Structure 1
């Protein structure tokens, strides 16, 4: 499926608006939204729904950039990107097709997995059209990336895509709940959280390694709830994934998810410790 909106305003005068974009995304609603953005930015777009189809298209057609969803059926974005880089190397390595990862989890471990798989940049869904335009401009201004160019060490869009570790509205709600009668209520809740979370994290690690479903489910549920109370939405969501997997009997030694949990907890702990320092 290919499209281009006539009369659309280009993303910038420096960007190649004649470029062909391959959008690899299995969610139909996301396909529609992203393709509309690309149409409005003036790009030619071809859409496919999994990594196998994407590799087949790349083998027989020319594209200037790939927008690659990370989680898809049949072949995910990580595997597809790795296979693409392998094929480029086998072909002599004269050029490198830019690949921008699309993922719903804006955490460090996702960026590391994308980089290791051979992707070049990162966008966290949902994203705005101007964010997409900026990413495309970075990689299309000078055409395809040459193989001689140094490999990226970090994603350029990293800072703008990483959400706040803590929603301050949740902290304000606890503070107001304490009121004049218990002005240190928020500090109490934070201290209890920081004291109990490390043991829960260790239970998750050991439970995953040993396949102890009940231990993982219970620890993930507890950490999910306490994290949500303090506004740590991303961490709470990651714990929910582990809890759901354990409940559904689909638990595996998921080191990638545990790395995400550890990374996100470190961000949460940093912000909560700063909050405590500000109360002194």
Structure 2
């Protein structure tokens, strides 16, 4: 990609650079600013979470190994916060190649990982190849595209199809009993069920529903029965959208595997 194309890609973009090494942080920021991007720096994961909670960033470059809080945890907290940068593209940056693939499967807050030293041409190509979901595609709104693509690439989609079918089945079963459990004041069971489903949703890329399930878990742990019942009722439409999208994608991937 030529330099003028890089300028077109990054011009006007707000970028949070989270990196504990001062020299690397400054050089990365300077390189982006020369492409007309606006940068803000964070020296560790804690500061990155704080800044992302106050300001809206288009892109967050997250060093994966930082003091106080590592990049993977910081990315997860930013996603769960629902703050102004919760939907930003978050790219993990690491000097450890084996770390990248593992984190992409285990930490669904990261959109992708790139090796150090960061190459802006590689970053631009990645951003160009992995656009944000289009609003008219309900499945893409419900499931993170990058996560689904990464899992599908493992074996052509066969395992993903089975996992999505399992998720749809688990959601159906859960919604048949959660209401009764809340009415029976069995909030601990609701919390355990929400925790398990949240983890499954995160692994498969259903981030929004995972966040709502995490809220349900926290309310159950606090014993807030009235708030728990209201939250469960409010999230039912999203659960149904996620279940339907999972079933539809499972059928599509099973046919192409």
Please report the TM-score for the alignment, with normalisation by the length of structure 2. Answer: 0.48
For the pair shown, the structure with the greater C-alpha radius of gyration is 1
Higher helix share: 2
Please report the TM-score for the alignment, with normalisation by the length of structure 1. Answer: 0.44
